[in-house]
A and B are shown apart, each in its own frame.
Chain A
Amino acid sequence: MIAFSVGLIAYWKIKRRFTVWTLLLSLAAYAGAIALKSVVQYFTAEPFHIAVGGNLAAMGIYIGLQTAIFEVGGAYLAAKIAFSRGKIRADDAEGYGLGLAFWENGVLIGGSALLNFIVIYLTLAGGGTAAQQLFDALSATQPDLFGSASVALTQVGLAVFERFSSLMIHFAWGLLCVFAVAFKKKRFLYLALPMGMVDFLVLYAGILGTLNFEILFFAVCLLCLFVALWFTKAERKNATTVSLSTASEGDMQLKSLVKTNFKRALSFGSVYLILGLALSFLLGAVISGTASVSDDVPLVVSQMFPMMVPVCAVVGSFGGLMVFVSDRTKGVYEYLIAYGVSIYEILWSTLLVTLGLVTVVLGVSLTGNIAITLLMGGSIQPALIEMLLIYTIPISYASVAFMTMAGMIWSSLTARIPGVNSPIGICTLIGVGPTLVVFILSTFLSGSSNFLLLIGGVTLILVALVVTMMVVANKKMNRERLLADA
């Protein structure tokens, strides 16, 4: 399913058009909807279930309405904002639908399933008590996993069938939402909204049986796809023409900025990059050393590596902020603003560059440390992989994004004093802050669910702060703040 989702996007990129903006926008729309659904269900699912006496139809409407409002309505809202800023065009409609489908099928469901199976495989392959306990648990809860090939293949086939249906319906409402915005035709939105009610069926899967449910689900999704394609026939023909006539240079400018500044950030911040990587390898070596002298490694030490890698990411990705400060001081932004680059694009491009650097640091340090451990005959515990995925990677990106946004705004709002070093140098402390908060608070927590809540909470707060700073800076910050001598 992951390969299929990615393949479709690649195909569409080659055949027509699929931009990074479309991918990010679909992520924002989808992730926002899932987050809102989770919050609503966390507070209301149980009381509602009690209130309706567990009535399936009422619960189906409850679930379906949330999908219609948050997923479809959210997709429309995100498309509207992006379209008004020239980030997407009418001919991005199909790509947007594919993007929504990708985040659900390729990442949320496909990715998490893949991760789950990797952890299961690693645990079972490792043998010992943990493997036996896991095997017993899985045999009881998911016996199909250990069934014959024909049983397993049927399950796989039905799962792929279901994801294919999901892909069709996400594509349908993604397409309709963008066309509703691009052609200013609300009727496309009114067609898309009811499609979210497809989740009404989910609760009837147990009654209908898996096969019947999947067939019915597929039929409904196919109908939605047909409706979307039928009603947008004329618009799809005009989409490219309309898009070309309204296309801005924004995409090109942003691409050029990110591409050039990423290379410059690698060179500018090379010392920090090397420092961040060296720190992560040193950390890996020290922890491996501690583990090798004692089988009974304390929890705090075994978790030290994934806990501290975000600090390495913060240090290693400092080059992005350095480029921003340098360009502001050298008067580059005066030119960029005159050429029509907005404050938002300047901040966003720096953020993308910095997140690119985080990817480099995480990619090299994690794969390098894991490879070294395996080459030296060590083993990678599933708990470590889990910790890296649920803590290290999200907190690294969130902390660095927060540091970079705070640093950019700080730098823009303060006048440079000749002869005094930029205060931006201490921004790393801002970046390290969230890691320390998690580290300190986690010592007071018991249970993995509380730890997950802590990580989720900190990450969400950081993301919310970054988004708020970006919006406020874009709306309220005067352009003169980015001039060299303003």
Chain B
Amino acid sequence: MLENKNTTYNVENQSVSIGSSPVVLFDSVSSGYSGRKVLEDISFRIDEPAIYVVLGPNGAGKTTLFRTLAGVLKPYSGRVEVEGYSSESQEGRKQLDYLTHIDGIPEGMSVRGALRFYAGIVGAGEADVDRVIDLLKLGELSVKRFGQLSQGQKKRVSVARIFLKEKKVYLLDEPTSNLDPKMASEIRELVLGLSKNKVILYSSHNLFEAREIGSKVIVIKNGKLALFGNISEIKTEKYTIGIRTLDMEEVPYSVGKEGDYYLFELQGPEEVPALTAKLLKKGVQIREVKEMQNPLEELFK
């Protein structure tokens, strides 16, 4: 059991049992770059379709985990399989799609051109390109060059690529990073829409995003598996939010002030709507609500 002043959760390396082929299997896997191990002796198996949120601070090994599963990195030891095939085999690769934390769109190409390029690589057709352009609402952008797009639009194009061909497993490496809340929410909606009968590994370093999107969690800490289980196993003792108001001298229920923000301690984000409703009832004019800390940052210190 790991303990932290804000969060506690169970830690157990999942034992890999012998049975029918799991959708994803990591068996005593060590992996990294230029001989330097980033992941060490990771073991887990995924049998059920669901969204599995891969949590960990920056540098914990989330991207290395994804790259190893996607067959981009060759593990130093251990076994990685997708649907019973080695992740490095062509059959294994056919089972999954991968969204990296960088856009990976060839420079100088239009949105449609880039999608056509990847369609050619994965064996999709022009109809698939049209479909994902509609799905991601990229119609107006399709003739624009990728470099001319905003960060959010770029991410949408990047995400569109994974919808070109249906796969069984999707690896999404921080798909909402650098996005504004509205765009992040739209991307999460798309991922949720994708999740039926699929295994989705979704990396994040935000526990609250994780709770919003998934029910299962894989926690990586210092290259090792810290937790594989239900997200509810991660208990936060305290969730602090800050509320900025319009010309208020004193705000009820507040436990303190940090800059322009009045601080409130809650059990979790699910209590935010009730709090704001109570404050509005008391005549508080709310300008902004924001998380004052990420419990994961505290946890991984």
Contacts and interface: CB of A to CB of B under 8 A. Distances in A.
Contacts of B73: 479-480
B192 interface: no
A338 B72 contact: yes
B33 A338 contact: no
A334 B100 contact: yes
A337 B120 contact: no
A56 to B, nearest CB: 54
Contact of A337 (B33, B72, B116, B123): B72
A255 B93 CA distance: 19
B100 A335 contact: yes
Interface string A241-256: 0000000110011011
B268 interface: no
B288 interface: no
A336 to B, nearest CB: 6
Interface stretch (B42-50, B105-113, B218-226, B254-262): B105-113
B72 A479 contact: yes
B103 interface: yes
Interface string A323-358: 100110011101111111100000000000000000
Interface string B129-168: 0000000000000000000000000000000010000000
Nearest to B92: A340
Interface stretch (A95-103, A127-135, A260-268, A416-424): A260-268
Contacts of B103: 330-331
A329 to B, nearest CB: 8
Contacts of B113: 260
A23 interface: no
B66 to A, nearest CB: 9
A267 B102 contact: no
Interface string A99-140: 000000000000000000000000000000000000000000
Given A252-B123, A253-B121, A334 B67 contact: yes
Given A337-B71, A337-B72, A479-B72, A249 B123 contact: yes
Contacts of A268: 107-108
A372 interface: no
Given A252-B120, A332-B106, A340 B93 contact: yes
A334 B122 contact: no
A486 interface: yes
B82 to A, nearest CB: 11
B70 interface: yes
B106 A326 contact: yes
B180 to A, nearest CB: 22
Interface in B48-76: 67, 70-74
Contacts of A341: 121
Contacts of B120: 252-253, 255-257, 259-260
Nearest to A260: B117
Residue of A260, A326, A339, A480 with most chain B CB atoms under a 10 A cut-off: A339
A478 interface: yes
B121 A257 contact: yes
A370 interface: no
A320 to B, nearest CB: 13
B105 A478 contact: no
A480 B34 contact: yes
Q: How large is the interface on A (under 10, 10 to 19, 20 to 34, 35 or more residues)?
A: 20 to 34
B98 interface: yes
Contacts of A334: 67, 72, 100, 102, 104
A276 to B, nearest CB: 20
Contact of A484 (B71, B102, B116, B123): B102
Interface in A157-202: none
A334 B97 CA distance: 12
A483 interface: yes
B85 to A, nearest CB: 12
B98 A335 contact: yes
Contacts of B33: 480, 486
B71 A338 contact: yes
Interface in B18-34: 33-34
Contacts of A257: 120-121
Contacts of A249: 90, 123
Interface string A264-276: 1001100000000
Contact of A330 (B93, B96, B104, B122): B104
A264 B108 contact: yes
Contacts of A483: 67, 72
A142 to B, nearest CB: 53
Contacts of B106: 260, 264, 323, 326-327, 330, 332
B118 interface: yes
Given A338-B93, A478-B74, 18 more contacts: A252-B120, A252-B123, A253-B121, A256-B121, A257-B120, A268-B107, A326-B106, A330-B103, A330-B104, A330-B105, A331-B103, A331-B104, A332-B106, A337-B70, A339-B93, A483-B67, A484-B102, A485-B102
> What are the 7 closest A-B residue pairs judged by CB atoms, nearest first?
A256-B120, A331-B102, A331-B104, A338-B70, A340-B93, A338-B98, A335-B104
5 contacts: A260-B117, A332-B105, A338-B71, A480-B72, A483-B72
Interface of B: 33-34, 67, 70-74, 90, 93-94, 96, 98, 100, 102-109, 113, 116-118, 120-123, 161
Interface of A: 248-249, 252-253, 255-257, 259-260, 264, 267-268, 323, 326-327, 330-332, 334-341, 478-480, 483-486
